[in-house]
Amino acid sequence: MLDFAVSELMLEETRKLSRAHDLLWYRRLNWRVFVRDRIYGAFSHAREDASSCSYPFPVDVKLFPTPNEETIQITTGFIKTGAEGAAALEGGGALVASQSISGHVIFIVYPRKSDRVQSNFKEILLYRPIDPAELTLSKIQDALKKFFFVARMTSLCGHDSSGVIDRARLNWLLLNDLRYKNKLLRSVLSMRNKWGNIIITALLALLVALYVQK
| 74, β-bridge pairs | 61, 95
Q: Can you tell me the distance from the alpha carbon of 74 to that of 43, in angstroms, rounded to the nearest whole number?
A: 6
Q: Is the pTM of this model over 0.85?
A: no
- Supply the pLDDT for residue 187: 62
Helices (H) and strands (E) in the chain, counts: 5, 8
Q: Can you tell me the distance from the alpha carbon of 80 to that of 88, in angstroms, rounded to the nearest whole number?
A: 6
Tell the burial category of 211 from Cβ atoms under 10 Å away from its Cβ (0-12, 13-18, 19+): exposed
Q: Which helix (H) or strand (E) holds 138?
A: helix 137-153
Of 76, 51, 209, nearest to 150 by C-alpha is 76
- Supply the pLDDT for residue 193: 46
On whether the CB atoms of residues 43 and 143 are closer than 8 A, the answer is no
- Supply the pLDDT for residue 6: 65
- Supply the pLDDT for residue 74: 96
Of 111, 54, 120, 117, nearest to 82 by C-alpha is 117
Category of 184 on φ-ψ map: left (φ > 0), alpha (ψ -120 to 50) or beta: alpha
Of 179, 48, 172, 56, nearest to 112 by C-alpha is 56
| pLDDT tens over the chain, length 214 residues | 556 566 888 888 888 888 888 888 989 989 999 999 999 999 999 999 999 999 989 999 999 988 778 899 999 987 776 655 556 677 789 999 998 888 899 999 999 887 777 778 888 999 988 999 999 999 999 999 999 999 999 887 777 777 889 889 988 998 888 777 776 666 655 554 444 554 555 555 555 555 444 4
Q: Which helix (H) or strand (E) holds 125?
A: strand 124-125
Q: Can you tell me the distance from the alpha carbon of 55 to that of 70, in angstroms, rounded to the nearest whole number?
A: 28
